[in-house]
Amino acid sequence: MAEHFLVCDYNPKILKRIRDRSVVFFLDSLSKLYDLESDARDHHIHIHCVIYETKKSLSDIIYKPEWSKFPIAIVSPSLGRLSSFLKMASVIKKLNIRFYFRTDYENCYRDIRILSSLGYYCAVIINGKTVNWEELTDLMTYALLNVVNHREILPFSYVTRYYHPQNRTDYGAVYFDDASRYIHLTGEGMLALSRKQMNSVNGILLELDKLDRITQEKAYKEYLYRWQEFFLEPTPCACCKGWRICLGKYADTIKDNPGCRDFFSEFLEAVDLHLKKRENTTKEEFIWQP
Amino acid sequence: MATIIIKVTEKCNSNCRYCDVVRKENTGKTMSLDIIRLLFQRTNEYLLDNPDETLDFLWHGGEPLLPGAAYYKHIIDFQKNYCPDTGNRISHSIQTNLTCFTEEFVSIFNAMGIKSVGTSYDPEPHMRGPGKNIDTLSYNKKFIRALKILDKYDIGWGMIYVVTGMSLKDPLGVFYFLTNFLLTGGVNFNPVLIYDEERKYLSVTPVQFVEFLGAIFPVWWENRNRYPDVEPFKSLVNNIIHGHRSLACVDSGSCTYHHINISPEGDTSQCGRSSDWKLLDYGNIRDSKISEILRHPERDQLEKRNRILMEGECAGCRFWEICHGGCPLDAWSKHRDFNHKSEWCYAKKGFIEKYFEPVTGSIFKP
């Protein structure tokens, strides 16, 4: 098995303990990128990605050419003023950057479509409580089947990349939420299988120095097989056509916000269609990939 | 190759609603090791006399893992000791509910050459499980625990899904459940066989079974690369479209001299049902050699049935080649006579004509 990526807040105190690791850092300010760069160099840490979540619109961020050294994910509520954003296009185009939008903001579908068609890499963070499944279906169709040139949109293109018709495809890695690849680290040096678990009392598994043993942990093994729990009873998720790419991620919200069944059924069909269309062509990847 | 169905035990730890074994009189017997020893001695003798033959042992029950790992270790020893030069012509398969499966069985399965197990699973609550109340949840938890072990040791599995009256309201839901659980499909849809009035609500008619399959088939056909191993669809495609004849025992018309069922007491018969119904008695393994059992004169009536049907009820039927009048035991259950076509005739013919041929655009030509 390949070595796990660690995911943690940028905290200089912990860096010496994660020497030689590949790490995803959460930053509360992009101005800390320079400190992170020198710290990472000192401790032989490979920066897999830097995540910056902000309440600012993308057009309100001042982008710097020096950031081009970093794989960056910016999570923002909106694009903001397109004209302001485009004024910085010459800088942004040279960055290794992907823009994440949460479905908590109703304009996210539109903003992603605009940015993607302008050639920017985007991702949508699907919150089962807030997502508008019809809008998401439109976005997915645009992402996978539209013939107009646009950049890839995650998780849709991620699924097409890893999809096999006879396997499950977990796109949790798009959000660094896939314990087979990403292990989360607290500021106190404790490991958890997800960011959500990191904040729960029973979520902590091991101390950091036992990371290499994590695959032997019972909780880790159970986590990898957690999908089987859906089959103890005929749950709506287990009986859904789209389950093999959804894996029950929205089981808790299906009652209050139904529509996931139709969305993932369409998604599955679109993936098959997209792959048929894409046969014999290979797409170049330009920026970091989760 | 002949198949020997070994009913290791009539005991079962599950009380599946549609199962006859647990409702049988005199249930609860387990095959003694003496009989198994004798079976291997007889097998060796048969294989030495028939150097081109092979035998497949299908370990069946009841629940065949109930006698425990130690029991199967004896079986491995018997094969080693009594079939030193013929053991390589014995293959093993097993039909188990997996709820007793533990890591201890892994080395046993390896030694027996079992790389995949047959099992069954039902999404419907209170259809399968232990106790009077049919505790599905506890059953399913044990089943899933076993799957983790199978996965860890790279042992495959496939399942039979028994279509009952409970399955009819949402055939696609059942299909998605099973193919999400076992992603390549690996599912065989069989109609429930109910012979008592008390459980009539579980039964399905051939027409209902056809409609159940017909609700699923167009989806399967459209996406068969997603779910390749779904039966009876895959076999029909192979037989009708690709012309590869490979028929299950009920359709082959050639089970006559190739099947032996052995009860826990060593009594032999054609199959599980003929044994339960005290039909086709081929004697006890204590008294008869395997070659005698396979050539028992009682079997000839099954062979004659082929000719009677071909010239009678099935004369002119274009599906004869892939059906042969179906299972003689199905015919017996309705007519108390083997020499009729199966009461499930429509399940095959009707499905092919109403769904298979229109959806695939392939017409079966004999």
**DSSP secondary structure letters along B191-229:** E----SSTTGGG---HHHHHHHHHHHHHHHHHTTTTS-E
Residues of chain B with Cβ-Cβ distance to A168 below 8 Å are 183
Contact A243 B225 (CB under 8 A): no
Tell me which residue of A65, A63, A58, A69 sits closest to A30, measured CA to CA.
A63
Residues A246-255 as b or e (16 or more Cβ within 10 Å = b): bbbbbbebbe
User: Among A29-38, A204-213, A224-233, B222-231, which stretch is predicted with the lowest mean pLDDT?
Assistant: A204-213
Helix/strand/coil for A99: strand
Amino acid A201: pLDDT:
72
Amino acid A1: pLDDT:
45
Instruction: Please check whether residue A156 is in contact with residue A143, taking contact to mean a CB–CB distance below 8 angstroms.
Output: yes
* CA distance to partner chain B, nearest, from residue A59 (Å): 43
Residues of chain B with Cβ-Cβ distance to A218 below 8 Å are none
Instruction: Please check whether residue B282 is in contact with residue B265, taking contact to mean a CB–CB distance below 8 angstroms.
Output: no
Contact A233 B141 (CB under 8 A): no
Out of B140, B183, B225, closest to residue A244 by CB:
B183
Residues A68-93 as b or e (16 or more Cβ within 10 Å = b): eebbbbbbbbbbbeeeebeebeeebe
User: Among A119-133, A255-269, B10-24, B105-119, which stretch is predicted with the lowest mean pLDDT?
Assistant: B10-24
Distance from C-alpha of A153 to C-alpha of A144, rounded to nearest angstrom: 9
Residues of chain B with Cβ-Cβ distance to A225 below 8 Å are 144, 148
Sheet holding B229-231, edge to edge: B116-120, B156-163, B185-191, B229-231
**DSSP secondary structure letters along A73-88:** EEEES----HHHHHHT
Distance from C-alpha of A151 to C-alpha of A120, rounded to nearest angstrom: 6
Amino acid B22: pLDDT:
66
Instruction: Please check whether residue B120 is in contact with residue B190, taking contact to mean a CB–CB distance below 8 angstroms.
Output: no
Closest residue on chain A to B227 (Cα): A166
Percent of chain A with pLDDT over 70: 97
Residue from A233, A245, A273 to probe the interface with B (highest B Cβ count within 10 Å): A233
* CA distance to partner chain B, nearest, from residue A161 (Å): 16
Contacts of B166 by beta carbon, 8 Å cutoff, 6+ apart: B124, B127, B202
Instruction: Please check whether residue A262 is in contact with residue A131, taking contact to mean a CB–CB distance below 8 angstroms.
Output: no
Interface predicted TM-score (ipTM) over 0.95: no
Contact A244 B184 (CB under 8 A): no
Amino acid A127: pLDDT:
97
Which DSSP state fits A3?
P
Residue from B103, B120, B176 to probe the interface with A (highest A Cβ count within 10 Å): B176
Contact A232 B144 (CB under 8 A): yes
Categorize the per-residue pLDDT at A284 as very low, low, confident or very high, splitting at 50, 70 and 90. low
**Residue A2: is its pLDDT beyond 60?**
no
Out of B172, B181, B184, closest to residue A231 by CB:
B181
Structure tokens at A47: 């920066």
Instruction: Please check whether residue B20 is in contact with residue B276, taking contact to mean a CB–CB distance below 8 angstroms.
Output: yes
Q: Where are the beta strands (DSSP E) in chain B?
A: 2-7, 55-60, 90-94, 116-120, 156-163, 185-191, 229-231, 259-262, 267-269, 283-284
Out of A167, A233, A238, closest to residue B183 by CB:
A167
Contact A240 B176 (CB under 8 A): yes
Contact A234 B123 (CB under 8 A): yes
Residues of chain A whose beta carbon is less than 8 angstroms from a beta carbon of chain B are 165-168, 221, 225, 228-234, 238-241, 243-244, 272
Residues of chain B with Cβ-Cβ distance to A230 below 8 Å are 180
Distance from C-alpha of A64 to C-alpha of A51, rounded to nearest angstrom: 16
Residue from A163, A164, A166, A266 to probe the interface with B (highest B Cβ count within 10 Å): A166
* CA distance to partner chain A, nearest, from residue B44 (Å): 42
* CA distance to partner chain A, nearest, from residue B140 (Å): 6
Question: What residue type is assigned to position B28 of the chain?
Answer: G
Amino acid B8: pLDDT:
96
Instruction: Please check whether residue A100 is in contact with residue A75, taking contact to mean a CB–CB distance below 8 angstroms.
Output: yes
Assessment of whether the complete model's pTM goes beyond 0.90: yes
Helix/strand/coil for A283: coil
Residues of chain B whose beta carbon is less than 8 angstroms from a beta carbon of chain A are 123-125, 136-137, 140-141, 144, 147-148, 170, 172-174, 176-177, 180-181, 183-184, 223, 225-228
* CA distance to partner chain B, nearest, from residue A236 (Å): 9
Out of A228, A233, A234, closest to residue B147 by CB:
A228
Out of A166, A225, A272, closest to residue B184 by CB:
A166
Out of B172, B174, B180, closest to residue A244 by CB:
B180
Distance from C-alpha of B63 to C-alpha of B96, rounded to nearest angstrom: 6
**Residue A285: is its pLDDT beyond 70?**
no
Contact A239 B228 (CB under 8 A): no
Q: Rounded mean pLDDT of A45-63?
A: 97
> For each of chain B's 366 residues, which pLDDT tens digit applies?
899 999 999 999 999 999 887 666 667 899 999 999 999 999 999 999 999 999 999 999 999 999 999 999 999 999 999 999 999 999 999 999 999 999 999 999 999 999 999 999 998 999 999 998 999 999 999 999 999 999 999 999 999 999 999 999 999 999 999 999 999 889 999 999 998 888 999 999 999 999 999 999 999 999 999 999 999 999 999 999 999 988 988 998 889 999 999 999 999 999 999 999 999 999 999 999 999 999 999 999 999 999 999 999 999 999 999 999 999 999 999 999 999 999 999 999 999 999 999 999 999 988
* CA distance to partner chain B, nearest, from residue A267 (Å): 14
Out of A167, A221, A238, closest to residue B177 by CB:
A238
Residues of chain A with Cβ-Cβ distance to B181 below 8 Å are 231, 238
Amino acid A147: pLDDT:
82
* CA distance to partner chain B, nearest, from residue A145 (Å): 19
Tell me which residue of B58, B6, B5 sits closest to B32, measured CA to CA.
B6
Contact A239 B177 (CB under 8 A): yes
